[in-house]
Chains A and B, each alone.
Chain A
Amino acid sequence: MEHTKHLWRAILLIVLIVVVYLLGRGFLVPGSFGEFGHYRGDALREEMNVRVPNFGAGVESCAACHDERAEEFRQSAHKTINCEVCHAPLRTHVEYEDIESFIQNPDQYEWTNEMVIKQAKDLCIRCHEAQPAKPHDFPHVTIVEHLEEMGVENSADVCVDCHNPHDPSM
């Protein structure tokens, strides 16, 4: 045929364009694209494993070791507060500790990350200082008035002199 050569050239050109497109797409589109939607599926896995959680699973995580404290705490008015709110995230306490050797020899073990114990009244004030925006049924006082009424001198950690944070009722 007269035009076979031109026909083949056109076909070759089309094939070449398709191949270049597929090659380019293959290189530019990430492998996990489209797995969950119009984005890189691996991004979701990266977000899932962005870090080991710093906070534990609540009071029960702490109770695994400190059951004597937890027992008192579970009965108290403060039972809805997570231990780590007043102390510190669990991971800062247990990470880099040799739990195996602690279990074998609890008395001799020296903790490198002692848990934070805060006693300053600032911590109590955050929840219990009276102000108009607080719900009316929530126990809150004006600290200065409360101390005057009780005849107690103000100091940095005055609250814990009378109230046990783990069981605050008198």
Chain B
Amino acid sequence: MIKWSRRKFLRMAASASIAGTVSLVLGFLVPGKLRIALASPGDPTEPSFEGYNPFDHLYSYVIDLHKCIGCGSCVQACKKENEVPDHFYRTWVERYQVSSGEEGARIDSPEGGLNGFPVGTAGAVGISKAYFVPKMCNHCEQPPCVQVCPFGASYKTPDGLTLVDHKRCMGCGYCVQACPYAARWINPDIHMADKCTWCYHRITKGLSPACVQACPTGTRSFGDTKDTYDPINKVIDEERVGVLQPVMLTRPKCYYLGLDKEVR
């Protein structure tokens, strides 16, 4: 048996454990960004997606209110594509009916417009103007929902979407209250925040969102503003597009054509 003094033993043990821990930390446990940079010697922003790089796209959505007939095909398609629970809507359609001489508009949205709009539900007497307004998450550039999330579960993607990390969300509902467009809700099945994702599982495969594909009148259109050949660029560049509640300074990526002052 080797005879070490207590001092020597402690010194050796301490330095050995420090050296071991440091090498372990450097080897395996460096923070994510550094590890990725170490792993891929090329562009550190290059993700390992299969054929899809979110840094190459930036999406926008255009809703032409002159064309909407309130059929609710978009609402049905969204429900079927995203398996949205009953009485909850990732997208919905509102009907505004304005009468001359009357303050404000009569607004209704029976079942989110899921089954269209019966003529009688808001009274059709003395209407001077009426129109449908499809609504959904505006995927704001400055989203209040992301700002208030205490768990960092809501986030902005490089391709311009606002999404929820369902492994981080605790279902506290702060974001539901923060959204000025009422686009978020707590999913009763998973008890977490849920919202429109612009069908991220579809658009990353080159398909359009289910609501856009279901729209029979071309009210809804979706496109990539980084793709110069995408027709959506022509609309945004040449038409007078508006956004909902610009006073909120959220800078929505969802543009409306033919907005009325009553729409909020």
A105 lies within 8 A of chain B by Cβ: no
Extra 20 A-B pairs, beta carbons < 8 Å, given A36-B54, A55-B202: A19-B18, A22-B25, A26-B29, A32-B36, A34-B31, A35-B32, A35-B47, A58-B213, A85-B76, A89-B80, A89-B81, A129-B116, A131-B119, A133-B95, A133-B96, A133-B117, A133-B130, A134-B69, A135-B68, A138-B217
Tell me the complex Cα distance, A57–B115, Å: 23
Query: What residues of chain B lie closer than 8 Å to A130, measured between beta carbons?
Result: 119
A89-B80, A131-B117, A135-B66 as given contacts; A41 in contact with B165, CB under 8 Å:
no
B49 lies within 8 A of chain A by Cβ: yes
CB distance from B7 to the nearest CB of A (A): 10
Residues B35 and A36 in contact, CB atoms below 8 Å apart: no
Tell me the complex Cα distance, A32–B70, Å: 42
Query: What residues of chain B lie closer than 8 Å to A15, measured between beta carbons?
Result: 18
A82's partner among B54, B200, B213 (CB-CB below 8 A) is B213
Residues B73 and A129 in contact, CB atoms below 8 Å apart: no
B67 lies within 8 A of chain A by Cβ: yes
What's the tally of chain A residues with a CB closer than 8 Å to chain B? 57
CB distance from B18 to the nearest CB of A (A): 6
Residues B67 and A34 in contact, CB atoms below 8 Å apart: no
Residues B32 and A135 in contact, CB atoms below 8 Å apart: no
Residues B32 and A41 in contact, CB atoms below 8 Å apart: yes
Say what secondary structure dominates the interface of chain A: loop
Residues A29 and B155 in contact, CB atoms below 8 Å apart: no
B residues contacting A by CB (< 8 A) are 14, 18, 21-22, 25, 28-33, 35-36, 47, 49, 52, 54, 66-73, 76-77, 80-81, 83, 95-97, 115-117, 119, 124, 127, 130-132, 152-153, 155-158, 163, 165-168, 197, 199-202, 204-205, 207, 210, 213-214, 216-218
CB distance from B169 to the nearest CB of A (A): 10
Residues B214 and A82 in contact, CB atoms below 8 Å apart: yes
A80 lies within 8 A of chain B by Cβ: yes
Tell me the complex Cα distance, A91–B208, Å: 16
A168 lies within 8 A of chain B by Cβ: no
Residues B54 and A132 in contact, CB atoms below 8 Å apart: no
Query: What residues of chain A lie closer than 8 Å to B25, measured between beta carbons?
Result: 19, 22-23, 26
